[in-house]
Structure 1
């Protein structure tokens, strides 16, 4: 029992690298310095020093754990605003006292929860305002100005610095599964694994504050599933399952020739290569079907029914999703299912060496399943 309690005090390992520690440290230093200097310029050194504590605490969240739910823009702006309002209410009712400060913090936490802007330094903002009987107290309702100025400056620093150092901020709310077929059907990954309702139910079971965004939590779980699947499936790489004798076209190949190749060999996509076997595009049957319809409805040639000798360079997709020959099969599964791709070109030293199709993937998964069953 005692060992278990003592073990709980042992610090958990950090899953970040020293490079990230340095980045966060520099960012926090820049943010605190900038906010403090601007506040000092407009309101003087004494008032700037009174509000320095919450700014320092906020900088830890905005620069060190910027993906957390407590570090998002609405969290800092909303919390500073409601904490200031809570402090003014506490001062009005109870004056400047320890009881008033305690009441202000409790009121601020409740308000932050209601307005979904929980941010720990908000409690410090309330304390600073209540316990300051000189500079901040004299401002009355005008205390909102320096407080919100600090919040705005620090937030601007976080937006600029984090994104310049390749840390996306703020955290974007994105859907985990794209609706590629534009139907109401449940995405394939959610039919056999956990879905959005399951995640909501799990968070409801916890019933406590969790400093992680819902999207990050889903990403962590799916990443864990991927690593577990990769461990169980062994070292199956794209080079092991890809089709090597692959038909391809060039930018100069005509649509007529492309249709002949696709129909004769019963394939859905045609990689487009240049003279050095570098992939420069890809064309599918769908692309070919859509294109003639679009030119028939526009332009003088379309009105009179004339047809151009169209080459694949006119309709091919130049942004092609590719994988390396060493890519693990687990990396291919979401590309061929969730993103709706029919085939993925495989590169080795930037040279096209084959494709992995949905059929290749199904055959490999079936073989792996049979091995585990035996």
Structure 2
């Protein structure tokens, strides 16, 4: 088609589902409205109680919170630097065009030098120059209010809103939460240092963090690995004769079962054999520790101390789906559930045996 060339102008950007787009807009609405009202309440009759660049910041904080440009350091430091430079240029450069041009240019340089690049900060610098009499009368106080006040309020609301939606914001520094070392999967594939070395030689700044690149590359590696081997499903690997507890069992009975077997935790089912939780040995130990407390004397059944949040898999799922749980999160076993009923169990030993067999098959094919 004649208009196909227009596609070359479009960004290679994922269009989120309608629900997510609505939530992003709702977040910006709440963030701007609440931070604006609080700023007005704090600053009272100061004319510059809210500044337009916060609208641009809200796009980053609520629509793309995973962006390096949207992190708290970037927003606070970037806006502070831009505010200081903008006020300084407004005070000592009478020509407005020269003043805001130099302010934005120098702000970009300093933000990039301090790893605090935040695009809306360029507008903060311009606002300090072109904001009119009310802004100029504030002088360097403009940095504290409204710039820092607006930024902090919007940032706090963004953190709360994103956390309520289950989004990780601010972004964490690495994948391995227990150590600064690469995760077990990374040690045998692509390591964070490999990604860092490639990015070091990139002449352009990419709007994605090394952390997100690690997650994407690891996931892609899992998919590629799944294509490279004969795919086994959970039902091929699971143990059907499962040791379990009933939620009505006495805790002392549960302890007796732990004594008989070499397991650190057991699945818990109801009378219909539906999985309702898991009980770990350490939870029984903790129960004994507080047994002398009168407040805990009512606890005597498994269901009263078990963990109700359980990761499960379906019989038809490929075993590659389980690798992150056993490798990255150190699971000992994962229950296999069909129509809410416990039908089997896959342990770490089962996975090791299956993966070892696949390695032997690959070796024999070479």
Task: Provide TM-score, normalisation by structure 2.
Answer: 0.79
Q: Which structure 1 segments of 5+ residues have no match? A: 300-310
Identify which of 329, 337, 357 aligns with 1:347. 337
C-alpha distance in 2, partners of 1:163/1:134? 39
- Relative to structure 1, the CA distance from residue 369 to residue 312 in structure 2 (aligned partners, 3 Å threshold; closer, same or farther) is farther
Residue number in structure 2 paired with 1:65: 64
Work out whether residues 72 and 170 of structure 2, in 8 Å CA contact, stay in contact via their aligned partners in 1: no
* Residue 14 (str. 1) matches residue 3 (str. 2): no
Residue number in structure 2 paired with 1:106: 105
Residue number in structure 1 paired with 2:146: 146
C-alpha distance in 1, partners of 2:152/2:326? 44
The residue matched to 2:140 in structure 1 has which SS? helix
Residue number in structure 2 paired with 1:155: 155
C-alpha distance in 2, partners of 1:169/1:69? 13
C-alpha distance in 2, partners of 1:118/1:282? 46
- Relative to structure 1, the CA distance from residue 274 to residue 5 in structure 2 (aligned partners, 3 Å threshold; closer, same or farther) is closer
C-alpha distance in 2, partners of 1:217/1:203? 10
Written as runs of structure 1 = structure 2, the 5 A alignment for 1:307-346 is 313=302, 318=307, 320-346=310-336
Deviations 1:144-177 (A, max 9, x none): 212223223322332343334x152522415422
C-alpha distance in 2, partners of 1:315/1:172? 35
Work out whether residues 281 and 316 of structure 1, in 8 Å CA contact, stay in contact via their aligned partners in 2: no
C-alpha deviation, 1:318, in angstroms: 3.0
C-alpha deviation, 1:275, in angstroms: 3.0
C-alpha deviation, 1:187, in angstroms: 4.2
Deviations 1:194-226 (A, max 9, x none): 223222212212253222233222111112212
Work out whether residues 282 and 316 of structure 1, in 8 Å CA contact, stay in contact via their aligned partners in 2: no
- Relative to structure 1, the CA distance from residue 74 to residue 271 in structure 2 (aligned partners, 3 Å threshold; closer, same or farther) is same
Deviations 1:45-84 (A, max 9, x none): 96368x32x1221111111111111112222222211111
C-alpha deviation, 1:313, in angstroms: 4.1
C-alpha distance in 2, partners of 1:153/1:248? 50
C-alpha distance in 2, partners of 1:16/1:338? 28
Residue number in structure 2 paired with 1:29: 29
C-alpha distance in 2, partners of 1:137/1:246? 74
* Residue 228 (str. 1) matches residue 257 (str. 2): no
Work out whether residues 108 and 126 of structure 1, in 8 Å CA contact, stay in contact via their aligned partners in 2: yes
Identify which of 349, 357, 365 aligns with 2:347. 357
C-alpha distance in 2, partners of 1:170/1:331? 26
Work out whether residues 96 and 133 of structure 1, in 8 Å CA contact, stay in contact via their aligned partners in 2: no
C-alpha distance in 2, partners of 1:110/1:63? 26
Q: Which structure has the greater CA radius of gyration? A: 1
Work out whether residues 101 and 127 of structure 1, in 8 Å CA contact, stay in contact via their aligned partners in 2: yes
The residue matched to 1:22 in structure 2 has which SS? helix
C-alpha distance in 2, partners of 1:123/1:190? 38
Residue number in structure 1 paired with 2:185: 189
Moved more, 189-198 or 76-85: 189-198
C-alpha distance in 2, partners of 1:140/1:69? 30
Written as runs of structure 1 = structure 2, the 5 A alignment for 1:246-257 is 246-250=242-246, 251-252=249-250, 253=253, 255-257=255-257
Residue number in structure 2 paired with 1:120: 119
C-alpha distance in 2, partners of 1:291/1:160? 35
Residue number in structure 2 paired with 1:135: 134
- Relative to structure 1, the CA distance from residue 118 to residue 366 in structure 2 (aligned partners, 3 Å threshold; closer, same or farther) is same
Residue number in structure 1 paired with 2:76: 77
- Relative to structure 1, the CA distance from residue 124 to residue 283 in structure 2 (aligned partners, 3 Å threshold; closer, same or farther) is closer
* Residue 277 (str. 1) matches residue 267 (str. 2): no
The residue matched to 2:336 in structure 1 has which SS? strand
Q: CA RMSD in A?
A: 3.7
- Relative to structure 1, the CA distance from residue 224 to residue 195 in structure 2 (aligned partners, 3 Å threshold; closer, same or farther) is same
C-alpha deviation, 1:314, in angstroms: 10
